[in-house]
Structure 1
Amino acid sequence: MRTRAIIGLLILGVLVFLLYSLREVMLPFVAGLALAYLLDPLADRLERLGVGRLAATLIILAGFVVGLIMLLIIVVPLAAGQIASLVNALPGMVSKLQGIIVERVGPVLQKIGGTDVVSELQSSVGSLVGQGGTWFLAFLGSIWSGSQALVSIASLLVITPVVAFYLLHDWDRMIAGLDGWVPPRHRDTTRRLAAEIDNAVTGFVRGQSLVCLILGTFYAVGLFAVGLNFGVLIGLISGFLTFIPFVGSLTGFLLSLGVALVQWWPTGDWLHIGLTVGVFLVGQFLEGNVISPKLVGDSVGLHPVWLMFALLAFGTLFGFVGLLLAVPVAASIGVVVRFGVEQYLQSRLYTSEEPVLLAEPEE
């Protein structure tokens, strides 16, 4: 048992080392694997309708490529323009927000602690904003550099559909081959664990993707109706980041609140500031009580804290490849840990009332 554990850990270490070493060229292949995994149920459904596997694969990937091209032609240029405008306007908005905070809060603090407190407040606000922006840009930069050092966008768009085509066409055959490698005495347990991992990954990815789409649309429409500058873009960003629990809503809320204060506080328009806050309060209520329970549920077994750690850690270490692998790896580890705890609770080490010797005494 000890020898097999050591061999398993060595194999795992080699795989992690190879993944880290080849992270800059693995993006199209990992993306193709993820695409084939997500589209396999649709291919199986078409097969049940009488469509051959090859024809089903061609139909699905053709539709995906057409949709992706339309997205790149129509949506991406508009979003890129809005993002560029927001990035250019962000330093000015931060300066105005800093001035508003010092102007409104400064007199109160000056009465309490004197002039030094006001200067310290101004310095602290600027330092906090600067450090937050630096950290966020560094995180995005690590993802960008990790995914684009050797692989360009063009190669990603060309290689990923090809990889997805071959994997999707041979998916059932590959799964059957992997199943045949498992020793017969362990197949039932392995299949059960694989089914639990599959349910956790697909349940979360598909459910959370719908949650992102619904909330992104709600925030974009709500902030646009309120009249917030860059409201549509902030809403879409918030919806996209909702894939990471709490991060999307918190990021969108802070960003929209800062823009709302700069836009309406100097004129004393508290109504629109309150409406901006109300959009996110309503969105959080719907997400927590209606949308997420219906679409994601509690059966996926991915705790939000564990998921946030996995996404941030894998994204920092492996770039965009890490973001693609974070959810399945986190789900797999969660399933294996729960299985280990279940075996422990059923073992003599836990249930026996007598002391259990872990090793034979030496004579």
Structure 2
Amino acid sequence: MTLKQQVRFWAIALVAFILFLVLLSNILLPFVLGMAVAYFLDPVADRMEAVGINRTAATAIIIGLFLVLVILSIILLVPVIIDQILGLLNNLPGYYQSLHDFFLPIIDRFIDIPALQENDELKKTIAQYVGEAVKGLGSLSKNIVGGGLAVVNMITLLVITPVVAFYLLRDWDYIVDRINGWLPHKNALQIRKLAGQIDDVLAGFVRGQSTVCLVLAIYYGVALMATGLEFGLVIGIVTGLISFIPFVGAIIGFVASVGVALFQFWPDFVMIGVVGAIFVVGQILEGYVLTPNLVGEKVGLHPVWVMFGLLAGGSLFGFVGVLIAIPMAAVVGVLSRFAIEQYLQSPLYGAPPPVDPDSTPED
């Protein structure tokens, strides 16, 4: 097969894969989640198998324990989180009015805006838009929680995802061996090397970062609740879970929690400072303890590339795109570095031809 034929074959395969994602994105979520769970838990199954436990039994134990933890989390946390989210949405108009009353006199000291202060129509318009936005968010939340389609989707996730995860985790080594056997013989070694680099990046980022996010979600949620902060649990959990987006999670969580603390504890600067200190400690914990030990520094995914991948995946394929964005970013990153290495060694870049070790230099 010529190089042109190879390029055509892989281009067609890539287009077919993208069309597959686009056409079936609505039903891919449980399968993507199941694959993610299997990949995440494969090292645990390998360790249990190494000590003599049958692979099927090890898989059943792991998936069973995983399901118990998920169900307990849903039963214990989801009602509280939903209640806090709806309460936060209901309080947004009051927060807006408090912000308006607090900042308008400060701005007026530097800028003469009597027209803005006296323009009741503008205030009513802004309040109307804020009220409509809050009502819309509240309706959306209620539909997500109580809609019939949402119930069906939740049941589908709870039923199909564990089944997919079980079979993939049980047969993971077999699947890897089968795919390894399909590799073209001419390029098999190079493909295995690239696949190993991709797995190292995914293992370091996905498994490590997922653990970091879980630890931070527990820390922020418990710490903010301990201060008595309103909606502290939901703010803490959301902050931890989106910490895989560099700096974004910490900034959003800090602004939200300190903002709520200002309204709730003002003028108690000690409690406001305690809420802010929780995020300072969280950033120290993440930057100096969790990330170096669980993620490492050689995953090869730049923060800007991670954010771009998440936005691109979400824009193209919705929530499923967000889930596969990091793996795709890792694949593209490894392949891009390989392509750059090949380019730097090619005549196109101007690199000298390779020297034959058996040849002797001419006098």
TM over 0.5: yes
The letter for the 2-side match of 1:50 is G
Residue of structure 2 equivalent to 1:280: 279
SS in 1 for 2:349: helix
Residue of structure 1 equivalent to 2:157: 156
Correspondence 1:48-59 to 2 at 5 A: 48-59=50-61
Residue of structure 1 equivalent to 2:25: 23
Distance verdict in 2 for CA 1:140–1:288, change over 3 Å: farther
Distance verdict in 2 for CA 1:134–1:312, change over 3 Å: farther
Aligned sequence identity (%): 46
Q: After the TM superposition, which parts of structure 1 deviate over 4 Å for at least 4 consecutive aligned residues?
A: 110-119, 121-137, 148-151
The letter for the 1-side match of 2:83 is G
Deviations 1:7-31 (A, max 9, x none): 3122211211121111111111121
Residue of structure 1 equivalent to 2:290: 291
How many angstroms does 1:118 deviate by? 9.8
Distance verdict in 2 for CA 1:24–1:250, change over 3 Å: same
Unaligned 5+ runs, structure 1 = 355-363
The letter for the 2-side match of 1:263 is Q
**Equivalents in 2 of 1:111, 1:270: separation in Å?**
30
How many angstroms does 1:335 deviate by? 0.5
How many angstroms does 1:235 deviate by? 1.4
How many angstroms does 1:240 deviate by? 1.2
Residue of structure 2 equivalent to 1:80: 82
Is this contact kept in 2: 1:193–1:336, CA < 8 A? yes
Residue of structure 2 equivalent to 1:12: 14
Deviations 1:329-350 (A, max 9, x none): 1100000001111122222333
**Equivalents in 1 of 2:119, 2:228: separation in Å?**
33
**Equivalents in 1 of 2:332, 2:32: separation in Å?**
19
**Equivalents in 1 of 2:136, 2:16: separation in Å?**
31
Residue of structure 1 equivalent to 2:4: 2
Residue 89 (str. 1) matches residue 91 (str. 2) = yes
Residue of structure 2 equivalent to 1:69: 71
How many angstroms does 1:317 deviate by? 2.7
Indicate the structure whose relative CO is greater, using CA pairs within 8 Å and at least 6 residues apart: 1
Using the size of structure 1 for normalisation, the TM-score is 0.83
Distance verdict in 2 for CA 1:170–1:89, change over 3 Å: same
Is this contact kept in 2: 1:97–1:262, CA < 8 A? no
The letter for the 2-side match of 1:20 is V
Correspondence 1:98-109 to 2 at 5 A: 98-103=100-105, 105-109=106-110
Deviations 1:282-329 (A, max 9, x none): 322332233222221221111111111212221233233222211111
**Equivalents in 2 of 1:257, 1:98: separation in Å?**
17
**Aligned Cα root-mean-square deviation (Å):** 3.4
Is this contact kept in 1: 2:217–2:236, CA < 8 A? yes
Correspondence 1:246-325 to 2 at 5 A: 246-265=247-266, 268-325=267-324
Distance verdict in 2 for CA 1:164–1:227, change over 3 Å: closer
Distance verdict in 2 for CA 1:218–1:73, change over 3 Å: closer
SS in 1 for 2:331: helix
How many angstroms does 1:352 deviate by? 3.2
Deviations 1:255-298 (A, max 9, x none): 11221222234xx3333323322322332233223322222122
Using the size of structure 2 for normalisation, the TM-score is 0.83
Distance verdict in 2 for CA 1:55–1:299, change over 3 Å: same
**Equivalents in 2 of 1:3, 1:134: separation in Å?**
56
Bigger CA drift: 297-306 or 124-133? Answer: 124-133
SS in 1 for 2:297: coil
Pairs aligned (count): 346
**Equivalents in 1 of 2:70, 2:221: separation in Å?**
22
